[in-house]
Structure 1
Amino acid sequence: MGQIGNEVARILTKTFPDKVRMCCLSAVAAGSKTHVDIFRKARAVIAINGCQLMCASKVLREKGIAPTYEIVVAKEGVDKLPTLDFDEEDVQRIANKISTEFIQKFQQ
């Protein structure tokens, strides 16, 4: 599920280079001031969670950052695979959902 979230973030960054930026969530969890500041200064924060544990959202909240938009890949009809493989159609569908529900509306 995390692989899908990562790929979705990459697509959104490429599609909206002036509006979307990926940032290392592991660095945020580790307390990197540089990375935490990137999130704190952002106009909006999209948390792409792989499963219902919502680790991305939790890491952000633990650092005092409230996600503006959250999604859980596992709740989007994606089957968890025991490999790092993923279906490109799932990736594109979720990227389109985030774009339609949030990015395009946020920029208005």
Structure 2
Amino acid sequence: MKKNDLPLVYSCSGCSQVAQLANRIAVTLDRRQHAQMSCIAGVGGQVKPLLKLARSGRPILAIDGCALSCAKHSLANIGVQPSHHLQLADYGLKKKCAEEYSDEVAEQLVQEINQTILPQLIPLTAIVDSD
């Protein structure tokens, strides 16, 4: 599948462990070429090429660690609504500082996203073209 056919993924990467987990999940999706990660800080900073990418019309997965939903709100500030918003707090993960979630928790969430969310975001033509 071509990079431009992949959904975009934006994540919070704030100071709490759930924010860092959101970022780790987004990085994993990007490195495995299941999504293309883009920079939510650049969106908030009004960096023109990153605004253009966010507004490109590609499907977007926004991953936030907590109920503040910083990634979702940063996109909303430029008039973009994610195709799917994932909040890790909805999975019972609590916002705490000075703690980390295990690699196993991260991998479970990556697998869940791959199985239940990404198939909804990848255009059918991209799947057909890759065969």
CA distance in 2, matches of 1:49, 1:38: 19
What is the aligned length? 106
Partner of 1:3: 20
Secondary structure in 1 aligned to 2:38?
A: coil
Pair 1:81-2:107 in alignment? no
Unaligned stretches of 5+ residues in structure 2: 1-17, 125-131
Partner of 1:27: 42
Q: CA RMSD in A?
A: 1.6
Any idea what the Cα deviations from partners look like across 1:19-58, whole Å, max 9, x if unmatched?
5111111111011111111111152011001101111101
Partner of 2:111: 96
Structure number with the higher helix fraction is 1
Secondary structure in 2 aligned to 1:48?
A: strand
Secondary structure in 1 aligned to 2:96?
A: coil
TM-score (norm 2): 0.73
CA distance in 2, matches of 1:64, 1:29: 12
Kindly report which structure 2 residues correspond to 1:11-90, keeping only aligned pairs within 5 A, or say none: 11-15=28-32, 17=33, 19-83=34-98, 85-90=100-105
Distance 1:84 1:26, change over 3 A: farther
Structure 1 range deviating more: 82-91 or 46-55: 82-91
Unaligned stretches of 5+ residues in structure 1: none
CA contact (8 A) 1:78 1:90 kept: no
> Which structure would you say has the larger Rg?
2
Structure number with the higher strand fraction is 2
Tell me which amino acid in the other structure corresponds to 2:75.
Answer: L
